[in-house]
Structure 1
Amino acid sequence: MDDAAVLKRRGYIMGINLGEGSYAKVKSAYSERLKFNVAVKIIDRKKAPTDFLEKFLPREIEILAMLNHRSIVKTYEIFETSDGKVYIVMELGVQGDLLEFIKTRGALQEDDARKKFHQLSSAIKYCHDLDVVHRDLKCENLLLDKDFNIKLSDFGFSKRCLRDDSGRLTLSKTFCGSAAYAAPEVLQGIPYQPKVYDIWSLGVILYIMVCGSMPYDDSNIKKMLRIQKEHRVNFPRSKHLTGECKDLIYRMLQPDVNRRLHIDEILSHCWVQPKARGLSSGAINKEGESSRATESTWTPESTGADKKSATKVEPREEARPEAQLETKPQEDTVQVARQAETVGLTSELNRESEEGHLQQPSETHT
């Protein structure tokens, strides 16, 4: 029985193709029960690799079934047929993803960015409170509903955090996600705190929202790591960002994991809280630095770079010489897993390797 017939028996009228990979595809469909369009991810177990079937798919299904938040894509139904196909029926992001939105319309005004970022941060707090980490936060995985509200999608890299006997979260040792959004500790192969990793990705996303460009050029991973470890964040002068906004981004893109903000600190930050805005230039933050002093460490971009798209980054100025990194990632194996679909088709590139290093995707994964 083909997909259209299977879906018809479940009360869905199959529509257009929204995205396709080597073992999964996403279709639009009209739900006769819900009376609106949905997205249906269809996974063929016969074509999928073993590690995906044994680890990633069970994790994703378990987590999708437990999530219920207004800023997370809803999962309406999950079922499997006897011929080994899994159907995941989800909320449809009718306005596409945030990356395409920014590429088309440019950087967001701070008020619009604040609203969308608050929605996203609330979704991450909800997940983190459940000890669920996303680990693939990027603009392509942020869908927009009919009113342009954020809907977090694609939990293919997500997992439940484990705790040790003392109740502390255990570290993760494997790389996952996209290099452009990955924290420096992840790119270096250092055991990392997965919730803290999510925060770095949030910082990259907010930067893209308000600047319309990437904060770092990931075409040279070694150079990018040097700049990140020096805690250098360059903002376009022409965007006229407020000090509060730059302060928040700067503190999320903190290479020291012990000083990087937690999700509760993000939600309580003066830029995120409209009623508490008006951070004075001499206000002292939790790290013992004034916002004025913090701002002086930013390296402004030249105004000629202001027209960059969110996917193209011009090289920044050379970072200062630094000792070689202890763990040097192979630059030719770090690939940005650009998601071609707008409805959360699980990325098939850069799946984590159990050995804890960057893994070259095999042909069966591309």
Structure 2
Amino acid sequence: MDDAAVLKQRGYIMGINLGEGSYAKVKSAYSERLKFNVAVKIIDRKKAPKDFLEKFLPREIEILAMLNHRSIVKTYEIFETSDGKVYIVMELGVQGDLLEFIKTRGALHEDDARKKFHQLSSAIKYCHDLDIVHRDLKCENLLLDKDFNIKLSDFGFSKRCLRDDSGRLTLSKTFCGSAAYAAPEVLQGIPYQPKVYDIWSLGVILYIMVCGSMPYDDSNIKKMLRIQKEHRVNFPLSKHLTGECKDLIYRMLQPDVNRRLHIDEILSHCWVQPKTRGLSSAAINKEGECSRGAEPSWTPETPDRKSATKVEPREEARPETEPETKPEEETLPVQVSRQSDTTGLNGEPLSKETEEEALPQPSETHT
């Protein structure tokens, strides 16, 4: 049977194509049971790479079945047919993704950015508390619902963190995600703490939200890495950002992994906290909390650089996601969240790559 017939049997009326890659596609569909539109990701095992089928897909499905948070795209159903196709039925981001939103409307006002960033940070805290890391946080993976609330999607690079005998989280060696959002330790091929990597990506996302441009130019990886390691963060003068907002970004884009903020420190930061929004003259201490004495530090502001409305999103080097070995027609009911992974909702394929332990070359980290 074709996809439309398979979905019809399950109570879904297939709609338009939302995106397509080499071995997966995302379709819209109307759910007769739920009485609203959903997104259906369809993965063809016969076309998918071995590394994806054996590693990343099973890991993703396992994690999707665990998640239940209002700021994470819901997964309603996962099932597989006897001809090797996997169907993941998810919540539809009806307003598109955050990148397109910013490219169309420009940088967000700080109040709007604060609301959306708080939603995203809450979702990341939920994941980190479960020892789940996303490892592909970027504006294209932040979908917007009908009320423009953030919905975190695409767990194709996610994993459950392992702990050693002493209870400490083990390091990861996999280069995941987009070079433009990747932390310097990941770009250098250094074994990294996955949760700390997520925090760097959050810093890039918040910068894009309030500045409408990328904090670093990833067209030259070596140059970008040098600027990152010097802890240089330039803010456009024209955006008139508050000191608290710049301070939070600066502390998330901290090259020293031992000094980079943790998710709890982000959520308690004075810029994120509604009760302290009026402290425009307040400085922030090293723990990310407001204080009245210290001066926050960042690189002096520079004139506007290239705008995100003109810059095409950087494509990421991603591992080929995972498989799952299930008997034919086995159904896996789920109450979770996620949207497109191998294909973007704008129809552009998202390049997933296999794990890399060495420093990726520029040609491997972006296109």
Give the TM-score category using the shorter length: 0.7 to 0.9
Contact 1:231–1:254 (8 Å) recurs in 2: yes
Contact 1:216–1:224 (8 Å) recurs in 2: yes
Alpha-carbon shift at residue 343 of structure 1 (Å): 8.0
Number of corresponding residues: 363
Cα separation, partners in 2 of 1:26 and 1:91, compared to 1, 3 Å: same
- Structure 1 range deviating more: 64-73 or 340-349: 340-349
User: RCO higher in 1 or 2 (8 Å CA, sep ≥ 6)?
Assistant: 2
Cα separation, partners in 2 of 1:359 and 1:45, compared to 1, 3 Å: farther
Q: 2-side partners of 1:342 and 1:77: how far apart? A: 18
Gapped regions of structure 2 (runs ≥ 5): none
Alpha-carbon shift at residue 360 of structure 1 (Å): 8.1
Alpha-carbon shift at residue 346 of structure 1 (Å): 12
Provide the residue aligned with 1:66 in structure 2.
66
Alpha-carbon shift at residue 286 of structure 1 (Å): 1.9
Contact 1:74–1:90 (8 Å) recurs in 2: yes
Cα separation, partners in 2 of 1:326 and 1:346, compared to 1, 3 Å: closer
Residues 313-357 of structure 1: per-residue CA shift (max 9 Å, x gap) = 699999999999999999999999999989867999664544513
Residues 3-53 of structure 1: per-residue CA shift (max 9 Å, x gap) = 000000000000000000000000000000000000000000000000000
Residues 272-331 of structure 1: per-residue CA shift (max 9 Å, x gap) = 001023446564512699989987753345xxx537431656999999999999999999
Cα separation, partners in 2 of 1:97 and 1:68, compared to 1, 3 Å: same
Cα separation, partners in 2 of 1:46 and 1:105, compared to 1, 3 Å: same
Alpha-carbon shift at residue 156 of structure 1 (Å): 0.2
Q: 1-side partners of 2:151 and 2:233: how far apart? A: 27
Contact 1:97–1:342 (8 Å) recurs in 2: no
Gapped regions of structure 1 (runs ≥ 5): none
Contact 1:143–1:343 (8 Å) recurs in 2: no
Provide the residue aligned with 2:360 in structure 1.
359
Q: 2-side partners of 1:26 and 1:322: how far apart? A: 17
Residues 47-66 of structure 1: per-residue CA shift (max 9 Å, x gap) = 00000000110011001111
1:37 aligned counterpart, secondary structure: strand
1:227 aligned counterpart, secondary structure: helix
Q: 2-side partners of 1:270 and 1:154: how far apart? A: 29
Cα separation, partners in 2 of 1:228 and 1:293, compared to 1, 3 Å: farther
Cα separation, partners in 2 of 1:298 and 1:317, compared to 1, 3 Å: farther
Cα separation, partners in 2 of 1:248 and 1:6, compared to 1, 3 Å: same
- Structure 1 range deviating more: 280-289 or 181-190: 280-289
Q: 2-side partners of 1:308 and 1:335: how far apart? A: 41
Contact 2:21–2:342 (8 Å) recurs in 1: no
TM-score norm. by structure 2 comes to 0.85
Contact 2:251–2:261 (8 Å) recurs in 1: yes
Contact 1:207–1:215 (8 Å) recurs in 2: yes
Q: 2-side partners of 1:3 and 1:119: how far apart? A: 34
Give the aligned CA root-mean-square deviation in angstroms: 8.8
Contact 1:173–1:189 (8 Å) recurs in 2: yes
Q: 1-side partners of 2:194 and 2:306: how far apart? A: 31
Cα separation, partners in 2 of 1:172 and 1:331, compared to 1, 3 Å: farther
Cα separation, partners in 2 of 1:229 and 1:324, compared to 1, 3 Å: farther
Cα separation, partners in 2 of 1:363 and 1:138, compared to 1, 3 Å: closer
Contact 2:95–2:144 (8 Å) recurs in 1: yes
1:293 aligned counterpart, secondary structure: coil
Q: 1-side partners of 2:323 and 2:61: how far apart? A: 37
TM-score norm. by structure 1 comes to 0.85
Provide the residue aligned with 2:326 in structure 1.
328
1:154 aligned counterpart, secondary structure: coil
Residues 254-287 of structure 1: per-residue CA shift (max 9 Å, x gap) = 0000000000000000000010234465645126
Cα separation, partners in 2 of 1:322 and 1:361, compared to 1, 3 Å: closer
Contact 2:79–2:330 (8 Å) recurs in 1: no
Contact 1:281–1:291 (8 Å) recurs in 2: no
Alpha-carbon shift at residue 174 of structure 1 (Å): 1.5
Q: 2-side partners of 1:2 and 1:326: how far apart? A: 21
Q: 2-side partners of 1:249 and 1:14: how far apart? A: 42
Q: 2-side partners of 1:272 and 1:124: how far apart? A: 14
Contact 2:24–2:343 (8 Å) recurs in 1: no
Cα separation, partners in 2 of 1:32 and 1:360, compared to 1, 3 Å: farther
